[in-house]
Amino acid sequence: MSNELMMRFKREMFLPNGKREMSSTSDVDAGLANAILSVFEGLEISDARSSAKPFKQFLQRSARDKLKIGEFDDVEAFLRAMRSANGGRRDDESTSYSQINADALPVINLGRSPGFQMHDNTHATEEYNAGSLVNNSGEPVALVSLMPVEITYSIMMLANEKETLSMLVGAVAGWLRQYAAFGSTHFTAKSQLAGYALELSCMIRDPKDVLVNDLTLPLQSERVFAAAIPVTVVAPLYTAWLGAASSGSIEVSSNGVSYTSIAPAVAPAQAQQLYEVV
């Protein structure tokens, strides 16, 4: 019996080259920092008492004078690092450079624990087919997968006055609680993957469970009032599986179905022992 061709379909394919690239979780830091800075946008204080003056001045500062990013063991370590780097009110023209660190407070520091934990798929799940990256010609250059991870942060707030610290904590804690109340726990972060711009969709896990930790220094050490709010962020960790576009065909004949590919498959490399036994 002859094998008669009945139908032929052309199909688009993708040929991996064995290389891959992963996105950076550090870009989530900047995204969360921008989200925290947005807390103070549009915030006004009508209180005319002198106790409200430091917080009013804080609201007028530039973004980098309001918030720093860095991991420190305690409040004193952060203050030493900021003052040694002249990292206080850099953009405040009313403050001379010689007094830059003495007038740095109030300020916010965003710290994060090293590494991350895998998310338990409560709020997000792994996606093995999360799309593709394409070049200017519309041809795919990478297939993308993602797995959700959890990053732990600490929003540390410092002030010279109790009233100012209370306003800072109230603004941040209220923002977190209202995030939950209005159902908007997401923020975005800009990243790069395989040379292409990528937007990370992140979310704050359990923002309503606000816990404020008192970090105020002893008076004999330095009169600084401080508090910290821990925050857990669920963020995507993307993997780009690099390769090139290919094509093939599906042929339906009287003897069955056959698949052909124009680009030949890459033969697997010979197994090698890459580790050293000690």
**Higher pLDDT, residue 252 or 87:** 252
Lowest-pLDDT range of 33-37, 88-92, 260-264: 260-264
- pLDDT level of residue 2 (50, 70, 90 thresholds): low
- Note whether residue 276 is domain-resident: no
- Note whether residue 30 is domain-resident: yes
- Note whether residue 171 is domain-resident: yes
- pLDDT level of residue 264 (50, 70, 90 thresholds): very low
- Note whether residue 236 is domain-resident: yes
Q: Supply the range of the domain harboring residue 214.
A: 25-110+144-240
- Note whether residue 96 is domain-resident: yes
From 75, 81, 150, select the one nearest 113 (Cα to Cα): 150
- Note whether residue 133 is domain-resident: no
Name the average pLDDT for the chain: 82
* pTM for this model (two decimals): 0.79
Task: Report whether 51 contacts 161 (CB < 8 A).
Answer: yes
CATH number at residue 151: 3.30.2000
What does the pLDDT average to over 118-132?
Answer: 86
* Identity of the highest mean pLDDT range in 39-43, 75-79, 107-111, 125-129: 107-111
Please give the share of the chain, as a percent, with pLDDT higher than 70. 78
Residue 95 has pLDDT above 60, yes or no: no
CA 237 centroid distance within chain: 10
- Note whether residue 266 is domain-resident: no
Q: What is the domain count for the chain?
A: 1
- pLDDT level of residue 122 (50, 70, 90 thresholds): confident
- Note whether residue 260 is domain-resident: no
